[in-house]
Structure 1
Amino acid sequence: MEDMSYWKEVWERKGRSNTKCLEELDGYEDTTANVKEIARQITIELDIKETDKILEVACGAGGLAQYIKCGEYVGVDYSSTLVKKHIKLLNNSVLHGEANDLIFKDKSFDKVFCFGAFHYFPNQEYAKQAIAELKRIAKDAIFIGDLPVTSHREEHLLYDKKDFQDWNITDGYYNPCRFNVSLKLR
């Protein structure tokens, strides 16, 4: 899928809904995902400390953010309606932007993570650009989670573990057809 307009409309529509349920806004309503547990596992994997400055890319309405305890949290999402909803519901610092073109200076966050978004990217080139941006912005570590090997939707971009040979690879947190990767930068 070379065009993200389909997915952008899905997420803009979710952000316009009247619900305040963060799991529903962030697309977990029809899954077995335990968002609180996912946030706990990301916190462990990245060794997030209460003094860390954290960036979440593709943060949505804040389903994971509500459980991340850190010194400073910043989120970025390409859905303007979800950004507004996230700010309204959680009062976090959240910006509208694309994963492959982040506005932050080099090494401006201790740790950077993105969970449950890479399968919505339009192509592998966009994904590679996004990974380069995560590496550029993080000082200590990055985490990318929920990468699908197979999917029930043809619109989902798929990934192969062999493309992450230098990374720590773990099983998906709630879906056996997905995996996570993390990379220590120091």
Structure 2
Amino acid sequence: MEDMSYWKEVWERKGRDTTKDLTILDGYEATTANVKEIAKNIIKELDIKESDSILEVACGAGGLAQYIKCKSYVGVDYSKSLVKKHIELLNNSVIHGEANNLIFKDKTFDKVFCFGAFHYFPNQEYAKKAIDEMKRVAKEAIFIGDLPVLSHREEHLLYDKNDFTDWKIIDGYYNPSRFNVVYKL
């Protein structure tokens, strides 16, 4: 899927929903995902400490962010309505932006993560640029989660574990057709 307009509209619509339920706003309502458990696993994999500065790429309304305790949290998302909702609900520092063009200076954050968004990217080129941007702004480590090997939706971008040879590969947290990766800088 070369055009992200379909997914952008999906996420803009989610952000305009009047609910305050982060599970619904961030699209976990139709899955078996336990967001609190996912956050706990990301914290463990990245060894997030309260003294860390963290960037969450594709942060949505803050489903994972609500569980991240750190010195400095910043989120970025391409949905203006979800950015607004995230700020409303959690009062975090969140900006509107694209994963493949992060506005931050090199080595701004101790750790950077993205969960459950890479399958919404339009193509592998966009995904590679997003990874390069995450590496550029991170000082210590990067986590990318919920990468599908296969999917029930033809609109989802798929990934191959062989494309992550320099990364630690971890089984998916709730879906056996997905995997996670960690990169230490």
Q: In which range does the TM-score fall when normalised by the shorter chain?
A: over 0.9
1:55 alignment partner in structure 2: 55
CA distance in 2, matches of 1:31, 1:172: 13
1:42 alignment partner in structure 2: 42
CA drift at 1:10: 0.2
CA drift at 1:119: 0.1
1:103 lines up with 2:106 in the alignment? no
Aligned-partner residue type, residue 40 of structure 1: K
Q: How do 1:64-83 and structure 2 match up within 5 A?
A: 64-83=64-83
Moved over 3 A (4+): none
CA distance in 1, matches of 2:69, 2:43: 8
CA drift at 1:149: 0.1
Equivalent position SS for 1:134: helix
CA drift at 1:64: 0.1
5+ residue gaps in structure 1?
none
CA distance in 1, matches of 2:45, 2:58: 18
CA distance in 1, matches of 2:61, 2:90: 8
Q: Give deviations 1:96-120, integer Å, cap 9, x for gaps.
A: 0000000000000000000000000
CA distance in 2, matches of 1:53, 1:121: 25
2:134 alignment partner in structure 1: 134
TM-score (norm 1): 0.99
1:2 alignment partner in structure 2: 2
TM-score (norm 2): 1.00
Cα-Cα RMSD: 0.3
Identity %: 82
1:180 lines up with 2:183 in the alignment? no
Aligned-partner residue type, residue 81 of structure 2: T
